[in-house]
Amino acid sequence: MDRLLYVAMTGAREAQVAQSVTSQNLANASTTGFRATLASAVHAPVAGPGHAGARAYAVTEGQGIDFTPGPLMATGRSLDVAIDGQGWIAVQTPDGGEGLTRAGDLRVDAFGMLTTGTGLPVLGNGGPIALPPFESLEIAGDGTISIRPLGQDAAGLAVVERIRLVNPDPATLVRGDDGVVRVAAGEPPPAEADVRLLGGMLEGSNVNTVSAMVEMIRHARSFELQVKMMNTAQQNDQSSGALLRLG
Protein backbone atom coordinates (compact mmCIF):
# COMPACT_ATOMS: atom_id res chain seq x y z
CA MET A 1 0.00 0.00 0.00
CA ASP A 2 2.89 2.33 0.70
CA ARG A 3 3.98 2.09 -2.95
CA LEU A 4 0.67 3.48 -4.16
CA LEU A 5 0.69 6.18 -1.48
CA TYR A 6 4.26 7.26 -2.28
CA VAL A 7 3.67 7.47 -6.02
CA ALA A 8 0.44 9.44 -5.52
CA MET A 9 2.08 11.79 -3.03
CA THR A 10 5.01 12.64 -5.32
CA GLY A 11 2.64 12.94 -8.27
CA ALA A 12 0.55 15.49 -6.37
CA ARG A 13 3.69 17.41 -5.43
CA GLU A 14 4.85 17.64 -9.04
CA ALA A 15 1.36 18.67 -10.16
CA GLN A 16 1.60 21.59 -7.73
CA VAL A 17 5.04 22.53 -9.10
CA ALA A 18 3.70 22.47 -12.66
CA GLN A 19 0.71 24.55 -11.58
CA SER A 20 2.94 27.22 -10.05
CA VAL A 21 5.08 27.37 -13.23
CA THR A 22 2.01 27.76 -15.42
CA SER A 23 0.62 30.42 -13.08
CA GLN A 24 3.86 32.37 -13.36
CA ASN A 25 3.75 32.13 -17.14
CA LEU A 26 0.17 33.35 -17.19
CA ALA A 27 1.06 36.28 -14.92
CA ASN A 28 3.70 37.31 -17.49
CA ALA A 29 1.46 37.03 -20.54
CA SER A 30 1.77 40.79 -21.09
CA THR A 31 5.43 41.17 -20.03
CA THR A 32 7.64 42.52 -22.81
CA GLY A 33 10.07 39.94 -24.19
CA PHE A 34 9.08 37.23 -21.68
CA ARG A 35 9.90 33.64 -22.58
CA ALA A 36 7.71 30.99 -20.96
CA THR A 37 9.12 28.52 -18.43
CA LEU A 38 8.79 24.81 -19.14
CA ALA A 39 8.56 22.21 -16.37
CA SER A 40 8.68 18.44 -16.69
CA ALA A 41 8.65 15.48 -14.30
CA VAL A 42 10.04 12.00 -14.81
CA HIS A 43 9.77 8.57 -13.20
CA ALA A 44 12.74 7.77 -10.95
CA PRO A 45 13.52 4.69 -8.84
CA VAL A 46 14.09 5.05 -5.09
CA ALA A 47 17.72 4.35 -4.23
CA GLY A 48 18.99 2.70 -1.06
CA PRO A 49 19.30 -0.73 0.55
CA GLY A 50 16.14 -2.77 0.22
CA HIS A 51 14.44 -0.31 -2.10
CA ALA A 52 16.30 -0.67 -5.39
CA GLY A 53 13.76 -1.53 -8.05
CA ALA A 54 10.94 -1.82 -5.51
CA ARG A 55 9.84 1.79 -5.25
CA ALA A 56 9.44 4.65 -7.72
CA TYR A 57 8.46 8.27 -7.50
CA ALA A 58 7.88 11.35 -9.62
CA VAL A 59 10.55 14.06 -9.59
CA THR A 60 11.00 17.37 -11.42
CA GLU A 61 13.50 16.89 -14.22
CA GLY A 62 14.18 20.60 -14.49
CA GLN A 63 12.76 23.87 -15.73
CA GLY A 64 13.61 24.96 -19.23
CA ILE A 65 12.82 27.98 -21.36
CA ASP A 66 10.47 28.15 -24.34
CA PHE A 67 12.50 29.96 -27.00
CA THR A 68 9.57 30.49 -29.36
CA PRO A 69 9.62 34.16 -30.49
CA GLY A 70 6.87 36.43 -29.21
CA PRO A 71 4.72 38.68 -31.42
CA LEU A 72 6.19 41.98 -32.65
CA MET A 73 4.36 45.22 -31.93
CA ALA A 74 5.07 48.58 -33.58
CA THR A 75 5.40 51.49 -31.13
CA GLY A 76 7.28 54.16 -33.07
CA ARG A 77 9.22 55.04 -29.91
CA SER A 78 12.94 55.66 -30.54
CA LEU A 79 14.02 53.77 -27.40
CA ASP A 80 11.95 50.68 -28.18
CA VAL A 81 13.82 47.88 -29.95
CA ALA A 82 13.05 44.26 -30.77
CA ILE A 83 15.51 41.56 -31.78
CA ASP A 84 14.97 40.33 -35.33
CA GLY A 85 15.17 36.54 -35.03
CA GLN A 86 17.52 34.90 -32.56
CA GLY A 87 19.68 36.74 -30.05
CA TRP A 88 19.66 38.62 -26.75
CA ILE A 89 20.44 42.02 -25.29
CA ALA A 90 23.16 41.89 -22.62
CA VAL A 91 22.29 43.57 -19.31
CA GLN A 92 23.97 43.93 -15.93
CA THR A 93 22.36 41.91 -13.16
CA PRO A 94 22.00 43.20 -9.58
CA ASP A 95 24.96 41.03 -8.50
CA GLY A 96 27.20 42.70 -11.09
CA GLY A 97 27.17 39.78 -13.53
CA GLU A 98 25.86 39.63 -17.07
CA GLY A 99 22.30 38.62 -17.87
CA LEU A 100 20.32 38.36 -21.08
CA THR A 101 16.94 39.80 -22.01
CA ARG A 102 14.62 40.12 -24.98
CA ALA A 103 12.81 43.08 -23.41
CA GLY A 104 13.63 46.09 -25.57
CA ASP A 105 11.53 48.69 -23.72
CA LEU A 106 14.59 50.80 -22.94
CA ARG A 107 14.70 53.85 -20.66
CA VAL A 108 17.19 56.58 -19.73
CA ASP A 109 17.23 57.15 -15.97
CA ALA A 110 17.98 60.34 -14.06
CA PHE A 111 21.73 59.63 -14.21
CA GLY A 112 21.76 59.11 -17.98
CA MET A 113 22.08 55.32 -17.73
CA LEU A 114 20.38 53.26 -20.43
CA THR A 115 18.26 50.62 -18.72
CA THR A 116 15.53 48.12 -19.46
CA GLY A 117 11.96 48.74 -18.34
CA THR A 118 12.75 46.81 -15.14
CA GLY A 119 15.79 48.96 -14.35
CA LEU A 120 18.62 46.64 -15.45
CA PRO A 121 21.53 48.59 -17.02
CA VAL A 122 22.07 47.80 -20.69
CA LEU A 123 25.63 46.75 -21.50
CA GLY A 124 27.78 48.06 -24.32
CA ASN A 125 31.27 47.14 -25.41
CA GLY A 126 32.70 49.04 -22.47
CA GLY A 127 30.21 48.17 -19.76
CA PRO A 128 26.92 49.85 -18.75
CA ILE A 129 25.90 52.51 -21.27
CA ALA A 130 25.78 56.12 -20.02
CA LEU A 131 24.31 58.78 -22.30
CA PRO A 132 25.05 62.51 -22.18
CA PRO A 133 22.12 64.95 -22.40
CA PHE A 134 20.56 64.75 -25.85
CA GLU A 135 17.74 66.15 -27.94
CA SER A 136 17.18 63.03 -30.05
CA LEU A 137 18.42 59.46 -30.15
CA GLU A 138 18.64 56.74 -32.77
CA ILE A 139 19.44 53.04 -32.37
CA ALA A 140 20.71 51.36 -35.52
CA GLY A 141 20.07 47.76 -36.49
CA ASP A 142 23.50 46.69 -35.22
CA GLY A 143 22.87 48.31 -31.82
CA THR A 144 24.87 51.49 -32.48
CA ILE A 145 23.46 54.41 -30.48
CA SER A 146 23.67 57.87 -32.03
CA ILE A 147 22.47 61.05 -30.35
CA ARG A 148 22.04 64.71 -31.24
CA PRO A 149 23.54 66.53 -28.26
CA LEU A 150 21.72 69.45 -26.71
CA GLY A 151 22.15 72.61 -28.77
CA GLN A 152 23.38 70.81 -31.91
CA ASP A 153 21.67 70.91 -35.30
CA ALA A 154 20.23 67.88 -37.07
CA ALA A 155 23.57 67.18 -38.81
CA GLY A 156 25.44 66.96 -35.51
CA LEU A 157 24.82 63.28 -34.73
CA ALA A 158 27.41 61.64 -32.51
CA VAL A 159 27.96 57.91 -31.99
CA VAL A 160 27.96 57.18 -28.26
CA GLU A 161 28.11 53.41 -27.80
CA ARG A 162 26.92 50.11 -29.21
CA ILE A 163 24.49 47.80 -27.41
CA ARG A 164 26.06 44.42 -26.71
CA LEU A 165 24.08 41.84 -28.69
CA VAL A 166 24.78 38.14 -28.15
CA ASN A 167 23.46 34.81 -29.39
CA PRO A 168 24.64 31.93 -27.16
CA ASP A 169 23.56 28.32 -27.60
CA PRO A 170 20.02 28.02 -26.15
CA ALA A 171 21.02 24.74 -24.49
CA THR A 172 23.44 26.68 -22.24
CA LEU A 173 20.84 29.16 -20.96
CA VAL A 174 19.08 29.02 -17.60
CA ARG A 175 16.65 31.33 -15.82
CA GLY A 176 17.72 32.41 -12.36
CA ASP A 177 15.54 32.90 -9.29
CA ASP A 178 15.43 36.62 -10.13
CA GLY A 179 13.91 35.85 -13.54
CA VAL A 180 17.00 36.91 -15.50
CA VAL A 181 18.34 34.53 -18.15
CA ARG A 182 22.03 33.66 -17.86
CA VAL A 183 24.59 31.38 -19.48
CA ALA A 184 24.87 28.32 -17.23
CA ALA A 185 28.68 28.23 -17.42
CA GLY A 186 28.85 31.78 -16.09
CA GLU A 187 31.15 33.04 -18.87
CA PRO A 188 29.73 36.03 -20.80
CA PRO A 189 29.05 35.05 -24.43
CA PRO A 190 30.86 36.97 -27.18
CA ALA A 191 29.13 39.76 -29.07
CA GLU A 192 27.55 38.67 -32.34
CA ALA A 193 27.48 40.95 -35.37
CA ASP A 194 24.68 38.89 -36.94
CA VAL A 195 22.12 39.83 -34.25
CA ARG A 196 19.94 42.67 -35.52
CA LEU A 197 17.55 45.09 -33.88
CA LEU A 198 14.28 46.51 -35.18
CA GLY A 199 13.76 50.10 -34.10
CA GLY A 200 10.36 51.34 -32.91
CA MET A 201 9.23 47.77 -32.19
CA LEU A 202 8.71 45.60 -29.12
CA GLU A 203 8.53 41.84 -28.75
CA GLY A 204 5.63 40.65 -26.64
CA SER A 205 5.46 37.63 -24.36
CA ASN A 206 5.38 34.23 -26.07
CA VAL A 207 2.87 32.91 -23.50
CA ASN A 208 -0.37 31.72 -25.09
CA THR A 209 -3.03 32.62 -22.51
CA VAL A 210 -5.57 30.09 -23.78
CA SER A 211 -3.04 27.24 -23.69
CA ALA A 212 -1.87 28.36 -20.24
CA MET A 213 -5.43 28.29 -18.90
CA VAL A 214 -5.94 24.79 -20.33
CA GLU A 215 -2.69 23.70 -18.69
CA MET A 216 -3.83 25.07 -15.32
CA ILE A 217 -7.06 23.07 -15.55
CA ARG A 218 -5.13 19.94 -16.52
CA HIS A 219 -2.71 20.32 -13.60
CA ALA A 220 -5.60 20.92 -11.17
CA ARG A 221 -7.34 17.73 -12.34
CA SER A 222 -4.08 15.79 -12.06
CA PHE A 223 -3.65 16.99 -8.47
CA GLU A 224 -7.21 15.97 -7.61
CA LEU A 225 -6.61 12.53 -9.13
CA GLN A 226 -3.47 12.03 -7.05
CA VAL A 227 -5.32 13.04 -3.87
CA LYS A 228 -8.07 10.53 -4.69
CA MET A 229 -5.42 7.84 -5.08
CA MET A 230 -4.03 8.71 -1.64
CA ASN A 231 -7.52 8.46 -0.15
CA THR A 232 -7.98 5.09 -1.87
CA ALA A 233 -4.69 3.87 -0.41
CA GLN A 234 -5.85 4.93 3.06
CA GLN A 235 -9.20 3.20 2.65
CA ASN A 236 -7.52 0.00 1.42
CA ASP A 237 -5.16 0.08 4.39
CA GLN A 238 -8.05 0.49 6.82
CA SER A 239 -9.94 -2.38 5.17
CA SER A 240 -6.88 -4.62 5.35
CA GLY A 241 -6.45 -3.80 9.02
CA ALA A 242 -10.09 -4.63 9.72
CA LEU A 243 -9.75 -8.00 7.98
CA LEU A 244 -6.65 -8.83 10.02
CA ARG A 245 -8.47 -7.97 13.25
CA LEU A 246 -11.30 -10.34 12.29
CA GLY A 247 -8.77 -13.13 11.83
Percent of the chain with pLDDT over 70: 93
Q: Which of the four pLDDT bands, split at 50, 70 and 90, describes residue 31? A: very high
In the chain, beta strands by DSSP E: 37-45, 56-65, 72-74, 81-84, 88-92, 98-101, 107-108, 114-115, 123-124, 127-128, 134-139, 144-149, 158-162, 165-166, 173-175, 181-183, 196-199, 201-203
Q: Give the largest Cα separation in the chain, rounded.
A: 101
Q: Looking at mean pLDDT, say which of 17-26, 56-65, 106-115 comes out highest.
A: 106-115
Domain boundaries, the chain: 2-67+207-246, 72-203
pLDDT digits (tens, 9 = 90+) for 169-205: 999 999 887 788 999 887 889 999 999 999 999 999 9
- Its pTM stands at 0.81
Q: Which of the four pLDDT bands, split at 50, 70 and 90, describes residue 48? A: low
